[in-house]
Structure 1
């Protein structure tokens, strides 16, 4: 993605990066993600930050909201779709602070971490999934 210095990617551009990372995941994972909504917002709302015990909105880059795949049953029909929210400004700040990776890589990292929560994966499993999508 070519950009003019100082111009931050929009939410739509960051969502496109996330969807591209999603498309690179192995088919066995993608098959279970069709109904997961991906949204990019500037920041998490105060209520979510309070619920998670996070003081600064810059400390939360993403969140998975839903029921992990292994915990689903027929009793959960009629619920809202699972959702992964990526928070644009905290991601951009982390990208600037790191300075050693592409924005595409960081967005993929955050997305895959949240997908890991959807599947109930351990941190090691999430790292392996990230390698597969790399």
Structure 2
């Protein structure tokens, strides 16, 4: 696990969060990493209005991450190739949660990343909550 005691003199940049996400991704079990190979992990400032409307959200800070793609449970070898699956991490909402909760930033980024990977495997929000409750 990386040094999570980093002190930030300024708000972490998108590049800082991308680096934390890469480190978090490298730390998850190899079998899981292999299963999401080819999935892009991107950092954006906030979700766009179209995404918020599609999810029924009013404010961009309500969404820290998003999986875009077809969950493995719905894929078929007969499907025509489409755009690559993508995990989006939203910088501003993550930083707001970080400040509000006092959670370690690396741990927060890792949790958002793992949450979105679970969506890649077809888990619903309820299923993810049940998994988190089992820890």
Establish whether TM, by shorter chain, passes 0.5. Answer: yes
Q: Select the residue among 1, 8, 16 that pairs with 1:3.
A: 8
Equivalent residue number for residue 117 of structure 1: 119
- Superposition RMSD on alpha carbons, in Å? 1.5
Equivalent residue number for residue 51 of structure 1: 54
CA distance in 2, matches of 1:57, 1:51: 12
Q: TM-score, normalised by structure 1?
A: 0.87
Unaligned runs of 5+ in 1: none
Q: Select the residue among 66, 71, 75 that pairs with 1:72.
A: 75
CA distance in 2, matches of 1:91, 1:103: 8
Q: Select the residue among 96, 103, 106 that pairs with 1:104.
A: 106
Instruction: Please state if 1:90 is matched with 2:90.
Output: no
Q: Retained in 2: the 8 A contact 1:66–1:83? A: yes
- Residue 120 (structure 1) shift: 1.7
- Residue 39 (structure 1) shift: 0.5
CA distance in 2, matches of 1:75, 1:50: 31
Tell me which stretches of 4 or more aligned residues in structure 1 moved more than 3 Å: 124-128
Unaligned runs of 5+ in 2: 1-5
Q: Retained in 2: the 8 A contact 1:67–1:82? A: yes
Instruction: Please state if 1:29 is matched with 2:17.
Output: no
Q: TM-score, normalised by structure 2?
A: 0.87
Count residues with an aligned counterpart.
Answer: 126
